[in-house]
Structure 1
Amino acid sequence: MKNILIIHDASGFGKCSTTVALPILSGMALQGTILPTALLSTHTGPGFEGFTFLDLTDEMEKIVDHWHSFGLQFDAAYVGYLGSVRQIKFLERELPKLLKDDAKLYLDPVMADNGEFYYGFDEEYAKEMLNLCAIADVIMPNQTEASFLYGVEYTEGVWPQEKIDEFLRIVRQQTNASVVLTGAGFDGQSQTGAYYFDAENGDQGLATAPFIGGKFHGTGDIFGSIFVGAQANGASVQEATQLAVDYIPRIIEKSLDDPNVMHNGLQFELFIGDLANYVRMLKQNQN
């Protein structure tokens, strides 16, 4: 069983980051090891003002030193929320030692959305994140993050193909990573999705699914976890992207049965059995 290093923050209550990635990857027949970047009392969505936040940078260094002492290495790493330039620099230095020679680094450069940086993030952070993108195998930015990282003008809605081509051209000048651009298929009405580019074979295209209205905390983490789970089990970039795109509206639609969905989070747990079946079928087709 492959061991995936999950580098995300951890919220005590609320379904996002580590508390999403670990159960999804486990359900997809992968062992998860966590390196938490911060500890929060709750997720940071509406209704949780005053949440606690503990930066774990110092503890991350101690944890990794312990792992190095007995030669622990991983088959892949899935990196999400990093709270500081210091954490990025730490991972730039340590990830090459933590990953096996054939391991893949999946990076969700969490920092911005809707044309704005999240609180606590800025251009200096984006500049340093580019160095982590340069060593990644797959980067998964949303359109705002793609704009801030690579200097492409941010616009809402579906990016025309020529703008996506411009973005990919700039990316290819700086990294050999495959790219999954989330939100690229969102037309504000009936469709949403992601644009994928597979650096290994040049395959690219738009994966779409029906749009279910609303913004929900943890959606990106669910998407990324499903994508990583599929890829780590042998799915192509295209297959993994389409799988994640297909599951997000299904999970949202089912979660709307909960009148407190904004508080409780999306009910991804109801679909872990389906994802486990997907992995079993994927493995059978590979044999």
Structure 2
Amino acid sequence: MQKVLIVHDISCYGKCSTTVALPILSAMELTGTLLPTALLSTHTGPGFENFTFLDLTQEMRKIVDHWISIDLKFQAIYIGYLGNVEQIHFLQEVYPHILAEGGKVYLDPVMADNGKFYHGFDQTYADEMIHLARLADVVMPNLTEAAFIYGTPYQAGKLSSEFLTKVADTIQADTDASIVLTGAGIDEAAGLTGTYFRDSQSGTSGLAQAKLISGSFHGTGDIFGSILVGSLMQGASLETATTYATEMLPIMLETSLNNPNIIQDGLDFERYSGELNQFARQLQA
């Protein structure tokens, strides 16, 4: 099976980051390997304010040095939460040594949402992330992250096709990567959420939409990104992968709303492992 390197934090409790990416990619018949960027006792959402945090930057170097010594390479590198600018520079330096020939780099530049930086991130971090984005085959920021990285305008709610096209044009002026903009085209009146995509190779672009479930739930972006990467690695087009990930997320979320502790526990995505596996096999056929 193809090997995917997951560069993300480990939040020991609360389903997000690596504890989401690894099982989803496994269900989609890909071999996941972890390069953890930080170790946290829980995710950083409400109810877990006193979480512990251990920076693993130095350990990352030791791990990758060992991989290089045994010539271990990956068909894809899926980058999510990075704890500091040093980790951005480190990945820029080492990725050619661990990425197989023809391999892909998928970047989810985790740092912000709803017009604000997450705790521990700032504009200096966003300015450095642009260099890593230039190495990626697919970048998947939300609209806030796109605004901080590329200086595009930030706007919430229902968005015009002209606005999304302008954002994508600005991003593609700086990188050859395909683009997936999450949280794009939310239309509360119509009960829809959207994801804008543009394939840098084919030029295909569009807006994938699905049922809107209001609220803020930790780990949803990681679930989306993992399904997207899994689909692309199994041969789906960017349009197909984006549409599938966009449609699966509210299905998983709606099922999970029965859990009164959903904010801390995360989504019950495990219930859909069979569906993810079936979709992966359809793509392989």
TM-score (norm 1): 0.97
* 2:160–2:185 contact (8 Å) kept in structure 1: no
Matched to 1:87, the amino acid is Q
Partner residue of 2:4?
Answer: 4
Partner residue of 1:113?
Answer: 113
Structure 2 unpaired stretches of 5+: none
Partner residue of 2:30?
Answer: 30
Cα deviation for residue 262 of structure 1 reads 1.2
SS in structure 2 of the partner of residue 230 of structure 1: helix
Cα deviation for residue 241 of structure 1 reads 0.2
CA separation in 2, counterparts of 1:150 and 1:159?
18
Q: How many residues align?
A: 284
Aligned alpha-carbon RMSD (Å): 0.8
Cα deviation for residue 239 of structure 1 reads 0.4
Segments ≥4 residues shifted beyond 3 Å: none
TM-score (norm 2): 0.98
1:209 aligns with 2:193: no
Partner residue of 1:173?
Answer: 173
Q: Tell me which moved more, 17-26 or 211-220.
A: 211-220
CA separation in 2, counterparts of 1:87 and 1:14?
24
* 1:180–1:197 contact (8 Å) kept in structure 2: yes
* 1:8–1:18 contact (8 Å) kept in structure 2: yes
CA separation in 2, counterparts of 1:4 and 1:100?
10
CA separation in 2, counterparts of 1:188 and 1:149?
27
Partner residue of 1:154?
Answer: 154
SS in structure 2 of the partner of residue 35 of structure 1: strand
CA separation in 2, counterparts of 1:108 and 1:101?
22
CA separation in 2, counterparts of 1:65 and 1:215?
39
Query: Identity percentage over the alignment?
Result: 56
* 1:219–1:248 contact (8 Å) kept in structure 2: yes
Post-superposition Cα deviations, 1:178-233, rounded to whole Å, max 9, x if no partner, equal 00000002123400020000011000000000111211000000000000000000
Partner residue of 1:57?
Answer: 57
Post-superposition Cα deviations, 1:62-94, rounded to whole Å, max 9, x if no partner, equal 000000001011000110000100000000111
CA separation in 2, counterparts of 1:175 and 1:101?
20
CA separation in 2, counterparts of 1:263 and 1:172?
37
Cα deviation for residue 32 of structure 1 reads 0.3
Cα deviation for residue 163 of structure 1 reads 1.8
Structure 1 unpaired stretches of 5+: none
* 1:185–1:207 contact (8 Å) kept in structure 2: no
SS in structure 2 of the partner of residue 88 of structure 1: helix
SS in structure 1 of the partner of residue 36 of structure 2: coil
CA separation in 2, counterparts of 1:222 and 1:174?
27
* 1:80–1:109 contact (8 Å) kept in structure 2: yes
Partner residue of 1:143?
Answer: 143
Cα deviation for residue 159 of structure 1 reads 2.4
* 2:38–2:54 contact (8 Å) kept in structure 1: yes
CA separation in 1, counterparts of 2:170 and 2:43?
34
Q: Tell me which moved more, 136-145 or 189-198.
A: 189-198
SS in structure 2 of the partner of residue 8 of structure 1: strand
Partner residue of 1:15?
Answer: 15
CA separation in 2, counterparts of 1:232 and 1:167?
26
Partner residue of 2:76?
Answer: 76
CA separation in 2, counterparts of 1:244 and 1:76?
18
SS in structure 1 of the partner of residue 278 of structure 2: helix
